[in-house]
A and B are shown apart, each in its own frame.
Chain A
């Protein structure tokens, strides 16, 4: 049982790491702010989601599991808001010059 959990954790966390990696490449390689933002937020949300999913399987108690989910939700919320703000500024800058 725990071996299966461990394997699933490894798979999920690796998938998460892959998405982070892809997102970072997008951040570095994409041409403008909006596409970079797109790469970053999309990949990071998924990536973190996978990491949290993987870790959930290892959580010692329900309480710790809930904390992990809370972390994920908070990061989603903050990430979404901040990328909105950045995108808005980028659009304004783009419009004015």
Chain B
């Protein structure tokens, strides 16, 4: 066994150990904590699998945002745990469930090992056609050009999740501000961090977006960093969450898919096809869309984390 594969096996064991912990831990809070660690280790796996872009996205979302969301929920739901434990199925059912899950996992393992190696690939096609966009990062090319429709729909999915969350508001708070008001010590250490970090964070977020054209990175990863900065400022109490009825907020929330749609329709108009970029302007157009998407992603993620409006505007 080479050093590389020893490392990979060890990494896989730790990841699976954490996975088992997430499932079996007694307390939800501990399980959610395990999930944060799991989400931070997965990017290492993705690096080994040659997917740096995915590693960035997984670190930002899996370990970061999802982890925070689940930890927060676990903290709030701590009191309900004992009541629900009574609903735990009996030993026989659990045995049956474990046998069935194991069977499916085994067949999946067998099948995934038997997949053709080297497998079929679109990498040559993606590289060959990258001239059409002028971008050097093949993943960005797939997301923004070859499979732009998926990316467009995904942004609508994100917006829809937000509308779904908003639709849970008690009627009297409609149009109000999401989440609790955070009252932190304005001279405390958190407020200090929230003053110091965001300028840097915004630069890094935009940098990640910018390098995404040619290197790993992109709109989603950059947007997540911006969202984190926004959340930090809100948590430190330096800035309140905006009321969800604000027009500027709503414009930001649809800017990404909106501009995507407009450029896409422009492609239809200018002769080639829907979602086709005129070759002379492909790169600037894509960067413009990505910039709008970064802002939209940042706003959407921030509000998804903030949750259901609970206060009047």
A contact residues vs B (CB 8 Å cutoff): 74, 77-78, 81, 84-85, 88
Q: In the bound complex, do residue B189 and residue A85 qualify as a contact, i.e. CB atoms below 8 Å apart?
A: yes
B contact residues vs A (CB 8 Å cutoff): 189-190, 192-193, 196-197, 200
Known: A77-B197, A78-B193, A81-B192. 11 other contacts (CB 8 A): A74-B197, A74-B200, A77-B193, A77-B196, A78-B197, A81-B189, A81-B190, A81-B193, A84-B189, A85-B190, A88-B189
Nearest CB in chain A: distance from B81 CB, A: 20
Nearest CB in chain A: distance from B311 CB, A: 24
In the complex, which residues of chain A have a beta carbon less than 8 angstroms from the beta carbon of B189? 81, 84-85, 88
In the complex, which residues of chain A have a beta carbon less than 8 angstroms from the beta carbon of B197? 74, 77-78
In the complex, which residues of chain A have a beta carbon less than 8 angstroms from the beta carbon of B196? 77
In the complex, which residues of chain A have a beta carbon less than 8 angstroms from the beta carbon of B190? 81, 85
CA separation between A84 and B197, bound complex, in Å? 16
CA separation between A67 and B313, bound complex, in Å? 41
CA separation between A78 and B35, bound complex, in Å? 20
- Describe B's contact surface by its main secondary structure: helix
CA separation between A77 and B197, bound complex, in Å? 9
CA separation between A88 and B193, bound complex, in Å? 15
Closest to A84 in B: B189
Nearest CB in chain A: distance from B100 CB, A: 35
Nearest CB in chain B: distance from A66 CB, A: 12
CA separation between A81 and B197, bound complex, in Å? 11
A-B contacts, 7 of them at CB < 8 A, read: A77-B193, A77-B197, A78-B193, A81-B193, A84-B189, A85-B189, A88-B189
In the complex, which residues of chain A have a beta carbon less than 8 angstroms from the beta carbon of B193? 77-78, 81
CA separation between A74 and B197, bound complex, in Å? 8
Nearest CB in chain B: distance from A17 CB, A: 13
Nearest CB in chain A: distance from B12 CB, A: 20
In the complex, which residues of chain B have a beta carbon less than 8 angstroms from the beta carbon of A78? 193, 197
In the complex, which residues of chain B have a beta carbon less than 8 angstroms from the beta carbon of A77? 193, 196-197
In the complex, which residues of chain B have a beta carbon less than 8 angstroms from the beta carbon of A85? 189-190
CA separation between A88 and B189, bound complex, in Å? 10
CA separation between A77 and B200, bound complex, in Å? 12
In the complex, which residues of chain B have a beta carbon less than 8 angstroms from the beta carbon of A88? 189
CA separation between A85 and B185, bound complex, in Å? 11
Closest to B197 in A: A77
CA separation between A84 and B190, bound complex, in Å? 9
CA separation between A62 and B192, bound complex, in Å? 30
CA separation between A81 and B196, bound complex, in Å? 11
CA separation between A35 and B228, bound complex, in Å? 29
In the complex, which residues of chain A have a beta carbon less than 8 angstroms from the beta carbon of B192? 81
Nearest CB in chain A: distance from B60 CB, A: 15
CA separation between A74 and B232, bound complex, in Å? 14
Most chain B CB inside 10 Å of its own CB: which residue of A74, A77, A78, A81: A81
Nearest CB in chain A: distance from B297 CB, A: 21
CA separation between A85 and B194, bound complex, in Å? 13
Closest to B184 in A: A85
Nearest CB in chain A: distance from B280 CB, A: 31
Closest to B192 in A: A81
- The 7 tightest CB contacts between A and B, nearest first, are A81-B193, A84-B189, A81-B189, A85-B190, A85-B189, A81-B190, A77-B193
